[in-house]
Homo-oligomer: A and B are copies of this chain.
Amino acid sequence: MSKNVIVIGSGAAGMTAASEAKKNDPSAKVIVITEDEHIAYSPCAIPWVIEGKMKWNEIVMHDPPFYSEKRDITVITKTKVTAVDSEKKTVTADKTYPYDSLVVATGGTVFIPPIKGVSLKGTFTVRTVNDAIAISASARKKDKVAIIGAGVIGLEIALALRKLNKDVTVVEMFEQVIPRIADKDMALMIQTYLESEGVKFVFGKGIESVDGTDRVEGITAGGKKIPCEMVIFATGVRANLEVPKMLGLDTGKLNAVVVSPTMQPYKGGVLVEDIFLAGDLVQSTSAVVDGPTMSQLGSSAVKQGIVAGKNAVGGNEKMAPTVTPWISSIGNMEIGGTGLSEGLAAWYGMKVVSATATGLTCARYYPGGKGMTVKLLADESDGRIVGAQIVSGSDVNGRINWLSFVIAEKMKVNEFLYAGENAYCPPTSMVRDTIFDAAEALSKKLSK
């Protein structure tokens, strides 16, 4: 008999899980139910839609007819799940669907601070294609924009709006851009670049209110009034626990759903066999410290979706602990990181030593090279590499993935100095990668 697989949520995690389930059990009947109008798109692409690099429909990889015709997967959009019964194994939305396996991939919800005026016309979040359409439409008519949150999405949108000649102010509670995951010294390079592009920053202040009568006229932050016509909340997401709560699933200390390596949840500490989770609502296991972490990234969602989808049709795949590598492309610059930052290490109570080195993306004498700064962090107690950040004009991505694997393998900096190798050709690299210069400097600091 064919298996009924219901997937709730149509982001990277949900659509990947649906496709994997169908691929691994072609007899399965797979139905995706989503509140969203559009499916299978990358929220990470929204800043470039706002900038005008792509049209909104270009970031939508596939539509429901594609899934129906090409993959035999039914997608029900603009439909809210109102009840889930894990005894009867049913999901209720526009009607009631029975399931053999349920995949919950409802992602995250944008955190909006509980202040006055957040519902005024002219306020926006950054999550869906419709958000991108709304911001773009408004930006055609308005000039002054306040962005709340200097995380990577906030910064990418800030630059996108500067390219449209908007007056952009970014308000950040912390004293730096990309707080928590980037260290202040590395973040400062990005801040300086954005300031040179005309982005204004207000640091160390929370937003206190959105001001206006009918629509946004300004915001108040740190007691200061900042006039603006648009307010964009790029304040990060929290796990969307609506469906997990219906199911009574256990959540962890990071307020997300606890899952096994097979992506199955627990209920009162007991593994739930027929439910699988993937994406921003899940609490992950850190590969760096003994504890939980959040890995709310598109790349993590896809990996988790693969595991959840395969296991939903009888597979036995297992997620590995994560180092959560991230990267952001901001105009001419790239910044990426992996593992712990100084801030995260402090949060976990780990003492770290760090070292930084600078180099180029090609041999010193080769024309057109871009500068590269590499920072490595090691656990002071054992010399293990636990974090890395890189800022450069290009070539950050492969190096971050490389260092992610080094960190996941729990390699000590002294060992990495010789166990690591780099390819070399003058137009593409220095004879010794800057990562090794940073590792050598770090090794010296540790040996003191």
* Interface pair A320/B59, CB less than 8 Å apart: no
**A350 on interface, CB distance cutoff 8 Å:** no
Query: In whole angstroms, how far apart are the Cα atoms of A44 and B429 in the complex?
Result: 11
**A252 on interface, CB distance cutoff 8 Å:** no
- Taken residue by residue from 374 to 411, chain A's Cβ proximity to chain B (1 for < 8 Å, 0 otherwise) reads as 00000000000000000000111111111011101100
State how many residues of chain A have any CB contact under 8 Å with chain B.
68
Q: Copy number of this protein in the oligomer?
A: 2
Residues of B near A317 (CB, < 8 A) are 418
* Interface pair A299/B419, CB less than 8 Å apart: no
* Interface pair A401/B421, CB less than 8 Å apart: yes
* Interface pair A408/B397, CB less than 8 Å apart: no
* Pick from B401, B419, B425: contact of A329, CB under 8 Å: B425
User: What is the CB-to-nearest-CB distance from A95 to chain B, in angstroms, rounded to a whole number?
Assistant: 33
* Pick from B44, B53, B365, B402: contact of A367, CB under 8 Å: B53
**A327 on interface, CB distance cutoff 8 Å:** yes
- Taken residue by residue from 75 to 107, chain A's Cβ proximity to chain B (1 for < 8 Å, 0 otherwise) reads as 000000000000000000000000000000000
Closest to A47 in B: B426
User: What is the CB-to-nearest-CB distance from A371 to chain B, in angstroms, rounded to a whole number?
Assistant: 16
A-B pairs with lowest CB-CB distance, top 7:
A398-B398, A402-B402, A327-B423, A325-B423, A329-B427, A299-B424, A320-B418
User: What are 13 A-B pairs at a CB distance below 8 A?
Assistant: A44-B424, A54-B367, A297-B423, A299-B431, A303-B418, A320-B419, A326-B423, A327-B429, A334-B425, A396-B423, A397-B423, A397-B425, A397-B429
